[in-house]
Amino acid sequence: MINSYSQYNLKYQTLIRKILNNGIWTDSRNSLTISLPHYSFTVDDMENDWQLLLRKMNYKGVYGEWITFSSDKPLTNVKQLQDNGCPYWNGFADEDGSINLDYANKLPQQLNDVIEGILSDKTSRRYHIELWDSDKQHREDLNLPCCHHGYTFSIIQDVLHMTWIQRSTDCFLGLPSDVAFAHYMMKHIADRTGLKIGSCMFALSNVHLYENSIAQAKEILNRTTADYDKPLKVKLEL
């Protein structure tokens, strides 16, 4: 059930406003952006308040991405993502469809380790998943280095909380999907450990809007809770 008055959506508007008012224009590898060096916010209820109601979202695609990345079956071709309903990695794959991502390479085993650890000891403060591999970043091993790469879990009175660490944050197209991905990750762990889902703090670096997202980002700021039943249709893709 989604809260009719969503704190997450209001915090998202605050972030967009902050970028538009205080961001700095800067070049990037693929487009001009308006950027902040870092930003953080917390979604207090990742069980119920994780969907962006301000614009159209492809949650089927995000769930397909989660299913693919968390699977014990190695990801070798973008068709595996497509078959799970996730179309938006096509542009990162090689011509033959092959794809190499540490989201899939490094996540499944660490995820299983966290679950097994929680089942044996809920008091531990050592549950962390790290996907960033410094040995690969200056070579052509990966089709794309991980944007979100670090996840730390804290369990307090049988409630699972997470800190999410991200090196680069596309706030219009990418971040709302990342919040959904975080929900699916927390639900996966909670369902297997008997925990309740709590909060997630998003620690974001290089927080930006692409130049061709700005017009629609400004539209987001004009929307209210009365608009939640008719979310904005996204007119662009990068």
* Model pLDDT, residue 55: 93
The answer to the question of residue 101 being in a domain is yes
* Model pLDDT, residue 101: 95
Tell whether the model's pLDDT for residue 237 goes beyond 80. Answer: no
Residue with token string 């409630």: 159
pLDDT band at 134 (very low <50, low <70, confident <90, very high): confident
The answer to the question of residue 238 being in a domain is no
* Model pLDDT, residue 179: 98
If one counts the domains in the chain, the total is: 1
Longest dimension (CA), the chain: 50
* Model pLDDT, residue 1: 43
The answer to the question of residue 125 being in a domain is yes
**Tokens coding 168:** 């680069």
pLDDT band at 154 (very low <50, low <70, confident <90, very high): very high
| pTM score over 0.75 | yes
* Model pLDDT, residue 30: 80
The answer to the question of residue 82 being in a domain is yes
95-132 pLDDT per residue, tens: 999 999 999 999 999 999 999 999 999 999 999 999 99
Distances (CA, A) of 131 to 17, 80, 104, 136: 31, 20, 9, 11
The answer to the question of residue 234 being in a domain is no
Give the domain extent around 190: 7-227
The answer to the question of residue 232 being in a domain is no
The answer to the question of residue 115 being in a domain is yes
164-221 pLDDT per residue, tens: 999 999 999 999 999 999 999 999 999 999 999 999 999 999 999 999 999 999 999 9
The answer to the question of residue 2 being in a domain is no
**Tokens coding 43:** 């979604």
Q: β-pairing, 24-27 with 32-43?
A: antiparallel
CATH of the domain at 62: 3.30.572.10
